[in-house]
Copies of this chain bind each other. A is one copy, B any other.
Amino acid sequence: MPIGVMPMRSLLLRSSYIEISNILRGRAAALPRQCYRPLHAPRYFHARACPQQEPPKELPTFLEAYKRAIDFPPATHDFETFFVQAEPNTEVVLHGYLGQRSDLSKKLSFVRLTDPTLQHSLQVVAFAKNNAFEQLKALNANSPVAVRGTVQKKKAKASESESADKPAEDPWELALEEIHALNDFPKDTIMTPETVFPPEQRYLQLRSDVELREALRFRARAHNLCKEELEKQSPPFVEIETPLLFKSTPEGAREFIVPTRREGLAYALPQSPQQYKQILMASGLPRYYQFARCFRDEDLRADRQPEFTQLDMEMSFATGDDVMRTIEGVIRRLWSTLMKDPAPEGPFRRVPYREVMAKYGSDKPDTRYGMEIIRLDQLLPVDLIGKISDLEDPIVEAFKVEGNENDPAETHKFITQFLDSPAGAPFNNNPDGGPGVFIYNGKQPLCGLQPFGFQAAEHVEELLDPDHGDLIILQARPRGPFSGGSTPIGDLRRALHASSVSTGFKPAPTGFDFLWVVDFPLFSPFSDSEPGQGGAAGISSTHHPFTAPKTPADVDLLLTDPTQAIADHYDLVVNGVELGGGSRRIHDAAVQEFIFRDILKMPAERLDDFSHLLDALRSGCPPHAGLALGFDRLVAVMLGKESVRDVIAFPKTGRGGDDAMVGAPSPMTEQALETYHLKLRK
């Protein structure tokens, strides 16, 4: 076994360096600039001399320490190789981080050395026989070092430094010969596996949080599996990069703009590679995919990032069916390779939008815990309806929450606490009426359903099949078709379930239930909250304006009642999370233009923004369909993380899209504004 020998040289104590760097170490972002300057400043700093003119006699101690730090010996082994190849009484050099030192006597110390990956460690024994012993004692835990030592069989269990909770990985330990300080971990920073660091110190969070680091490795593995699955198709999907310096087009979300030095002109960052990928389909590249960075300048809603990654794909001569089958393969591959849960079998079921909205009150339902919604309005006595809503002729829906069979009082306590909590407030304050709450109780007249009257109560029992102690919730809404992502009763179902789990009233559901939500309306009433597609029709595309109508009958509806047209649009949903969505696209220029101009009523100048797409479609573009999976979200779901921030190395953390660590966004300088021919409005 070849063993590199550390070059012999006198290793000075680093104490003077440590002293300076201790002072330098203050958290700079929070402190005024002077803190960067050492208080016990070496002469050099006082003199402020121009080095060329007046060279100082001595090198500042931090430069002396740095000279030693950069001249470190290469490792003879990484730890994994070492554990396999180690032979007693040979000399090795290993790199890594020091653990907490444990001084057994004035002449004997132990310390664990953790390897650069933070995945393996080894015990190092230091005897007071050489300089290294003193050098070790001068170093803080967590500091990076290069260590030369002699391999020896571990003496005894009792001699381990942090033994009890940290089982030794191997029978070897290192007798310290030489230790080379590479940098210094601040003594006053407390870092345990449990420490939660502020977002400004993301590097310390990453350094201390094995789960976070593992999430990033897991994410890379998931990326590779998606890639492999798409590339093994016949014909294979090909990863093609599309531009990020794009053009502002009214697709829906607000786009970030990137001013250029050409006065008044700007790029826009793409909200997705949608248009480029469709143009690729017109270009004879039939199967495209990309891990694409996308940007939306949105008000940061629950756990959204202004930049995010999507697994974006498109296939030509294809329908939504082909896309859904392909993506099911990707999901199955991910689950069968990376997850303990079984991979979903067979095609995922496809549920129309109207059905999920009726049954779950959500277009991305968690379907694992029952509580399905039924319609009751035609059965209910008028005075009961009047009690739960002031609406004229409302729709009344209901669902059941399985309660405590033995003790309806427990059910009562649960629902009361929920409705009295902040989580319950929006439901109590619903202008269409708060929820009507009934506890099914075999010991009460009509089992507690007296307000329903005999006939309706019987119907409710038939429909919901309640048991003693179950909760029955009623909610009214105005009569009308479904639109948007959820209904109040759907939100209530979700909130009640979340509360039932968090309070321990019910166990958390397990497993993964995938479904495709399909048959969305092609157009939805225009929502003011987003910039939209700039049309004047009072409606906007539910998915995006490139989505195709589903059937020839839906094409007919474009002329008679476009709001009734169904889109060939499919969302992949699992456990209440929308993993992604896609659609078949309009591949015909005349139809696309008709949608832009005559349905959405985009003004001429907005329509012009899409001329590149229309031109590409006009060049004999084949039919095509595609999808984008939110990759951050997918990984978070796989790892059971609440937030995408837990699967992103450097997430934006603030509501304003702040990267608190680097301090972005930051003030534009006057020079930058001038470069881009801009000034602030005031």
Contacts and interface: CB of A to CB of B under 8 A. Distances in A.
A148 B440 CA distance: 62
Interface string A247-271: 1100000101111111111111100
Interface in A1-52: 20-21, 24-25, 27-29, 33, 36, 38, 44, 51-52
A266 B611 contact: no
A623 B70 contact: yes
A676 B531 CA distance: 14
A55 interface: yes
A508 interface: no
A259 B144 contact: no
Contact of A663 (B29, B223, B611): B611
A431 interface: no
A526 interface: no
Interface in A264-290: 264-269, 275-276, 279-280, 282-286
Contacts of A265: 665-668
Given A51-B560, A182-B622, A608-B28, A615 B555 contact: no
A400 to B, nearest CB: 40
Contacts of A103: none
Main secondary structure, interface of A, reads mixed
Contact of A216 (B238, B306, B662, B676): B238
Interface stretch (A165-173, A447-455, A482-490, A646-654): A646-654
Nearest to A67: B552
A657 B588 contact: no
B649 A240 contact: yes
Q: What is the count of identical protomers in the complex?
A: 2
Contact of A279 (B203, B247, B589, B608): B203
Interface string A591-619: 10110011100001001110110111111
B186 A618 contact: yes
A241 B677 contact: no
A71 B276 CA distance: 25
B264 A667 contact: yes
A234 B677 contact: no
B622 A28 contact: no
A338 interface: no
B618 A24 contact: yes
A657 B56 CA distance: 49
Contact of A116 (B25, B183, B286): B286
Contact of A28 (B227, B276, B611, B680): B611
B620 A59 contact: no
A681 B677 contact: yes
Given A240-B649, A285-B206, A614 B21 contact: no
A207 interface: yes
A257 B283 CA distance: 32
A227 B223 CA distance: 12
Interface in A196-227: 200-204, 206-207, 213, 216-217, 220, 223-224, 227
A588 B659 contact: no
20 contacts: A27-B615, A28-B614, A33-B607, A36-B607, A63-B559, A63-B594, A70-B555, A72-B623, A117-B235, A144-B622, A183-B588, A189-B619, A203-B280, A203-B615, A242-B650, A245-B665, A257-B259, A260-B657, A263-B680, A265-B667
Given A241-B648, A612-B663, A673-B681, 9 more contacts: A21-B588, A33-B608, A55-B559, A81-B234, A97-B622, A186-B619, A186-B620, A256-B258, A612-B662
